[in-house]
Chain A
Amino acid sequence: MTKILKLRHIVLIVSVIIMAIGMAVGTVCHFVSNGFFNYGDEFSSYKSIEVTTSAVEDVNGNTLLEVANEELASLGAYEVSFSKSTGYLPNTVVYKLGTSVSDEAIDEAVAAVKAHFEGAGYEAFTVSSYFNEAKVNGIYVLNFTAIALSSAVVFQAIYFAIRFKPGMALAGLMSQVAAVGVYASLLAITRCPVGLEAIAFAAVAVVLNMILCGLFFDNVKKSYKDENNEKAETLQLIAAGGQSTAKVNLFVCIAAAAAAVILAVFALIAAPSFVTLAPFAAFLIAVISCAFAFALFTPSAYAVVSVIDRRNIK
């Protein structure tokens, strides 16, 4: 930990570099690809083809799935969902396609599906293609969650300033900014699909980081108060604080990541597709960001601003 603190400026610079790379990758992708992040349905438009067959003509929807797979698979759908007929509702399969798929290709595929069913003598079937704009609630959820998180972070800063020291409050605030910044940057760099759950995971990451910061500062404050440490260097005290909380903090991150992996494995069993893994990948990135923030950034940031607190103590 002492070594890390000696390289504190480098840690801070690396954090900034990660965020800068994220910004750069995001900006480039914004112009040449599908946006700053690899947005999911909530934040980006998509095209879709919806095919239905009645339960009378296609009891389990097997024909529907076969035909759709045969005629639509070549379009490169990023998500396929199927609803089996329930009573009066038909079997329905929806192919979600990126906006880059040409209208001509979609029209051709739609015509092929129609011809297939007409040729087979089906009467009660529909084939429709849609252009779906981004779900309107995406930005709404993002805005209000951002407000909620900002409020929570401000509360944390005030609480830390009262309970611990002003420098710790400042470092805590910087740490939360770094956690969210690194999280967003890693999402942009890895092109992990970003849906609404990514916003909720940002909230979970910030709360985790708040708690871990609290543990760390608590230990540092205790070491400040310890009479045996009167002559110790500030860096040593911070390092000792970081060292004593490392085990708990590491446990939290590893356990959270392990829990996500367990959930992901079982989710994959239920629906084996790449789309299934996307939210878990986002959560793992949130945990990594959180781990980076508390293990490296928070001690380094506090080492830089601790002069405020030490001055007060002296």
Chain B
Amino acid sequence: MSKVRSVVITAIVVIAILVAAVFGVASFNVGAAQRYNSIAAEIALGSDYTGYVGTTIYPEGVISQSSYDALEEEDKSSYQAHGSVYVSLEESGYETLEALAGDVAGDAAILAARMGDRGLSDYTVSVRDDLTIAVAVPSGFSYAAYKGDSQTNRSNALTYAANTLGTLISDGELTLRTSDASITIESGDDDDSTSTTYDTTRFEDEYSNEDVLGDGSVTYPFVSANEDATEYFSSVSAFTFGGSHVLSFSLTSYGRERINYISTLAASSESQTIYVCVGNVRVLAITCTSTIDSDVMQFSMETQSASRDAATLLNSVIHGGTLVLAYNDVSTVAPVSAAGGENAALMAFIACIAVLVALCVAAVVKYKKLGGVLSMSLVILALVLLYALFILNVLVTLEVLITCAAVLVLFAAANLVVLNEVRAQCKTGKTIQAAIKAAYKRTLLTVVDIHVVILAAAIFIAAIAPGAAAGCGVILVVGAIASYVLYWFTRLMWHVCSAPARNKFAFGGFKREVYGDD
């Protein structure tokens, strides 16, 4: 390769890295009113860095101190103090506090499972004073939102977090509902289907008078009293494809039959809508203009967060995770600041830069020019991880940051294996180009081993582990793939950079004597 071509390729790569780095880490004002927030500033941060959004839910019959203070004197008599809350066994319908506390604990376990299934990298579910449940999810602010540079992002993050909380703590059973009182349905029960026709108005259930639609209107169940709507579905999942956020229902054979029947009724009704509800929370409104006859139903939702919240809740309810108690609605969700301090995110970012710089400097000091090539790859890998965190919407926690650092270290280690081999090959008398070629050949299987093991382990961790460990798994998957690609990119750049080397017998500060036959 000619020296000119080598310089041109190197320059193009360096410029590309610089451009990616500038957009990745530099925020700046555009004009007088607008601001460009860097990729780093737009990454969603975990509770370590921006805190939680949380609330405390009270089951029926349990109230807070402030609610108790607001009661009339005669109403206070049925309540007894228990820790910081007041409880009325009469209102709760329980005979003993222990029984009530037992069900609260059971519901807390269900909520924890829902939060875990939702794939939140960090969340807390904790029983307080035996009778209330404190639930918190990460605020999910980006650094720009946390610092007030992006009010839209801040507002969206708070809305998503509040919606996630509101959806996941929904109590009550799964029902399919309609606002048309005139619809008559047949029971799905074989014994009754041939003999009886029911009017849905007869099945006014406990949710009929709840304001499910938010406009004060009454809704009626599509499902007759002797049916369980959870038997219609085998699972519910959410995925995003081509920018659309899809909620997908897998139906049982019985469910397909019943949905066929219900959708026929809905299509011919005035509203043409089936409301999928859990308790008094409307999860989805299905507009039916024709009969649905399929094993799978898929519906588009507005946001990824909404589709994932809905899928998690519905899956939980379908598989027996219905909350035993009824809880108060989430009226306020309160942000709690980061335990790591107000500047925790900024400091973590500076620390990450410091780690990267330290690795690059060490590589250059140890291996000179080839170390410089390795540094270039390290910077690219860091940028890939940065952009991946943004694109995959991985919530950045301390664990994720340490995993990113570990990926950088492993990439450096994989290259160290090669560099050691290059050095060894050089010592045998080969030119630097020949040594690099031989070293890559000899270490190929080793490097493949490293990446296969990381990738497989990462897939297991990302797929099975919940919480921050899952985030670590995702980053390891991205890191393993990027590291392997960059391993070959480093090889290419070595080829590009070492081609015009004046002294082709020098490597990493080591110079061998040039023999006549070279």
Contacts and interface: CB of A to CB of B under 8 A. Distances in A.
Interface stretch (A2-10, A29-37, A204-212, A232-240): A204-212
B452 interface: yes
A136 B111 contact: yes
A262 B339 contact: no
A200 B83 contact: no
* Interface residue tally on B, bucketed by range: 35 or more
Interface in A218-276: 218, 247-248, 251-252, 255-256, 258-260, 262-263, 265-267, 269-271, 275-276
B469 A89 contact: no
Contacts of A266: 347-348, 350-351, 354
Contacts of B126: 41, 132-136
A130 B420 CA distance: 59
Interface stretch (B223-231, B248-256, B459-467, B497-505): B459-467
A313 B145 CA distance: 62
Contact of B335 (A79, A86, A133, A135): A86
Contact of A204 (B51, B417, B472): B472
Interface stretch (B33-41, B274-282, B397-405): B397-405
A153 B468 CA distance: 19
A247 B416 contact: yes
Nearest to B408: A259
B409 interface: yes
Given A207-B457, A263-B351, A251 B416 contact: yes
Contacts of B130: 131, 133
A131 B461 contact: no
A101 B486 CA distance: 55
B351 A267 contact: yes
Contact of A129 (B84, B342, B401): B84
Contacts of B125: 135-137
Given A136-B108, A144-B465, A266-B351, A203 B472 contact: yes
B116 A137 contact: yes
A128 interface: yes
A271 B341 contact: yes
B461 A149 contact: yes
B456 interface: yes
Contacts of B469: 141, 145, 148, 199-200, 203
B112 interface: yes
Given A129-B84, A131-B130, A256-B405, A248 B417 contact: yes
Interface stretch (A67-75, A155-163, A185-193, A301-309): A155-163
A152 B457 contact: yes
Most buried by B among A203, A251, A267: A203
B192 interface: no
Most buried by A among B108, B341, B465: B465
A144 B66 contact: no
B351 A132 contact: no
B339 A200 contact: no
Pairs A-B, 6 closest by C-beta atoms: A271-B341, A148-B464, A266-B351, A136-B112, A270-B341, A200-B399
Given A156-B453, A214-B450, 15 more contacts: A42-B124, A130-B84, A140-B112, A140-B116, A151-B464, A196-B122, A200-B403, A200-B468, A207-B453, A210-B453, A247-B416, A252-B413, A258-B355, A259-B405, A267-B348
18 contacts: A41-B124, A83-B337, A126-B66, A131-B83, A134-B126, A135-B112, A136-B108, A147-B465, A148-B469, A151-B460, A197-B468, A201-B402, A208-B410, A211-B410, A256-B405, A263-B352, A265-B351, A267-B344
